[in-house]
């Protein structure tokens, strides 16, 4: 094999014609705007090398891989003759910048006047939406910006330059700028972009192996990217298509796992299916053909696991204390009894597992090793129809937290298993909004905001920490804004009375709404403005009472009870 030195102009023409395309297993565009900016500086303004592309020559009528166009291009129907194995990010950046195809950025070469001579300075990416002037040549010109798309080798150069220079009245300036732009255009057009073409005779498995081991992007291949390529090699199918199908079929899974995390979830579940710890390193050891054959079972398991979490009123990623159960449960689904008393007992065992994984410190460290041990113990219990698991060195033997430990858990908006578990236990009771009385639901949860029950501004007066999980509740945005820094008792009573309820009837309704958050009603009813002298004691009493309620509910959930 010999390196070929084709200029950028030829690569852009090949992309336009569609004779260079991406094999389907290639990841999507991954560069940030800063990556693009740095690369364009190298291409346009410097004499530094821009790396070597890796391609695979293919028979247009018998291609080894399914392909797709580079981002920002269209398939014009011409047959592909070369698969791009490494260099996608670089060629995509060139194509999109030179054709002004970035949705949120416009790239410019800035220039300056140095001793009466215009010289180029640097390439800058300018946000499109925040700077309307980027669409107006005269305003860009006045800021000493040359649009990068002016340097596109394709099209009548003189016409493009003259169209841009019409914004400059001074003859000398036009001459100098024309010379500057012409020099930049020549540099881009003729700059060599070397490539190493693999011959048509290259085995597809070998091509994928070379792709994995030689990818040189600024943004390295992730374990998932590698798994996508290995899956394609073994099955001639697209792993990303399989993952996308699961995302469409399983309602709610994207909210829990996130779009970017669903592929890793599928692979981690597949690892457990194949009796391996779900680590990134084990992705390469997966039998991809078995993953392909078991995809329906994996999908059904993910669907069931999602449903189990939804029953516990956990619908999205920010509510989820730990993602571990979402890896373990799908692999257990195939061992569940299908109906009857045994199914009810199995569901009870699973519920115990879910809540114990949330409230103990089991997965604070060595999570992959420990979840595999827990999975093995649960699998054995289900297969033997014992429906109980008290094995040592499993989550079922882990110590539950006490009241003092809950009192120190921080604000649940930030990540942390136990702090989010505190809020999840409270949310499970229905979490009726104290003003609207709307109960928590998949739609309602999207509107809820984290609220300090004893407001931050209030607690600053007595130097108490407001950012505790026990001081948090989820309420609607209007309620949150209206509450502000008022004492909780004053605000809550006012809300109930404004709903048309008064006296004891109002207080009973208030109790029901507060109890749906596991908030002790008396501690709130007594928290009315009687001066800051009693504020610290009221706050501490509230925290301890709420911790007691949560501990009681936590113990029931960890026994598998639903009420």
- Residue-wise pLDDT for 67-87, tens only, equals 999 998 877 778 999 999 999
Q: Dump pLDDT digits (tens) for 143-184.
A: 889 999 999 988 766 677 777 777 665 555 677 778 888 889
Give residues with Cβ within 8 angstroms of 553, minimum separation 6.
Answer: 425, 428, 429, 518
- C-alpha 167/C-alpha 178 separation (Å) is 12
The better pLDDT of the pair 346, 492 is held by 346
Which has the closest alpha carbon to 15: 109, 86, 85, 78?
78
Provide mean pLDDT across the span 189-216: 89
User: Which neighbouring-strand residues pair with 67?
Assistant: 23
- C-alpha 109/C-alpha 122 separation (Å) is 6
pLDDT at 171: 55
Asked whether residue 118 carries a pLDDT value surpassing 60, the answer given is: yes
Contact 139, 106 (CB under 8 A): no
Structure tokens at 320: 């989820």
What would the 3-class secondary structure string for 480-536 be?
HHHHCCCCHHHHHHHHHHHCCCCHHHHHHHHHHHHHCCCCCHHHHHCCCCCCHHHHH
Q: Dump pLDDT digits (tens) for 397-418.
A: 999 999 999 999 999 999 899 9
Q: What is the DSSP letter of 339?
A: S
- C-alpha 121/C-alpha 178 separation (Å) is 16
Q: Is 366 left (phi over 0), alpha (psi -120 to 50) or beta?
A: left
Q: What is the mean pLDDT of the chain?
A: 90
- Pairing between strand 472-476 and 20-23? unpaired
414-442 CB burial, b ≥16 within 10 A, e <16: eebbbbbbbbbbbbbbbbbbbbbebebee
Percent of the chain with pLDDT over 90: 67
Q: What pTM did the predictor assign?
A: 0.84
- C-alpha 240/C-alpha 23 separation (Å) is 13
């Amino acid at each position: 094999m010999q390196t070929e030195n084709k200029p950028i102009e030829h690569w852009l023409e090949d992309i336009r014609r569609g004779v260079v395309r991406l094999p389907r297993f290639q990841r999507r565009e991954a560069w940030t705007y800063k990556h693009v900016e740095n690369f364009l500086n190298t291409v346009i303004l410097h004499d530094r090398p821009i790396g070597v592309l890796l391609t695979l020559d293919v028979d247009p009528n018998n291609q080894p891989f399914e392909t797709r166009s580079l981002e920002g291009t269209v398939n014009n129907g011409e047959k592909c003759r070369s698969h791009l194995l490494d260099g996608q990010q670089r060629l995509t950046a060139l194509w999109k910048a030179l054709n002004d195809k970035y949705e949120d950025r416009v790239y410019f070469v800035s220039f300056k006047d140095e001793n009466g001579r215009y010289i180029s300075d640097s390439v800058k990416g300018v946000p499109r939406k925040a700077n309307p002037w980027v669409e107006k040549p005269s305003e860009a010109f006045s800021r000493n910006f040359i649009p990068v798309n002016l340097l596109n080798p394709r099209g009548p150069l003189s016409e493009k330059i003259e169209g841009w220079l019409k914004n400059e009245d001074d003859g000398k300036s036009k001459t100098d700028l024309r010379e500057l732009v012409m020099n930049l255009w020549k540099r881009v057009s003729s700059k060599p972009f070397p490539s190493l073409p693999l011959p048509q005779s290259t085995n597809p498995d070998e091509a994928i192996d070379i792709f994995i081991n030689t990818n040189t992007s600024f943004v390295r291949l992730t374990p998932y990217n590698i798994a996508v390529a290995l899956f394609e090699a073994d099955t001639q199918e697209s792993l990303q298509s399989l993952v996308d199908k699961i995302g469409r079929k399983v309602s709610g899974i994207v909210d829990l796992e996130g779009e970017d995390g669903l592929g890793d979830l599928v692979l981690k579940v597949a690892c457990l299916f194949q009796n391996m710890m779900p680590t990134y390193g084990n992705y390469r050891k997966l039998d991809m053909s078995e993953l392909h054959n078991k995809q329906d079972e994996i999908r059904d398991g993910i669907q069931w696991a999602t449903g189990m979490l939804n029953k516990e009123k956990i619908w999205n990623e920010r509510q989820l204390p730990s993602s571990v159960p979402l890896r373990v449960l799908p692999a257990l689904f195939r061992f569940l009894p299908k109906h009857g008393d045994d199914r009810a007992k199995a569901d009870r065992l699973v519920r115990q597992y879910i809540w114990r994984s949330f409230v103990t410190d089991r997965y604070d460290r060595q999570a992959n090793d420990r979840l595999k041990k827990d999975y093995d113990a649960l699998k054995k219990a289900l297969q033997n129809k014992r429906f109980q698991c008290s094995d040592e060195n499993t989550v079922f033997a882990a110590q539950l937290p006490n009241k003092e430990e809950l009192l120190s858990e921080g604000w649940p908006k930030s990540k942390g298993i136990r702090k989010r578990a505190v809020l999840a236990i409270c949310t499970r009771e229905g979490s009726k909004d104290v003003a609207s009385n709307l109960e928590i639901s998949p739609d309602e949860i999207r509107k809820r905001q984290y609220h300090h029950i004893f407001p931050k501004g209030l607690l600053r007066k007595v130097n108490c920490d407001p950012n505790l999980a026990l001081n948090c509740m989820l309420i609607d945005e209007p309620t949150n804004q209206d509450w502000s820094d008022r004492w909780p008792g004053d605000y809550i009573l006012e809300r109930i009375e404004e709903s048309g309820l008064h006296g004891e009837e109002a207080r009973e309704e208030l109790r029901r709404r507060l109890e749906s958050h596991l908030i002790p009603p008396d501690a709130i009813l007594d928290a009315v403005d009687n001066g800051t002298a009693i504020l610290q004691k009221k706050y501490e009493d509230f925290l301890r009472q709420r911790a007691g309620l949560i501990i009681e509910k936590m113990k029931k959930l960890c026994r598998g009870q639903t009420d």
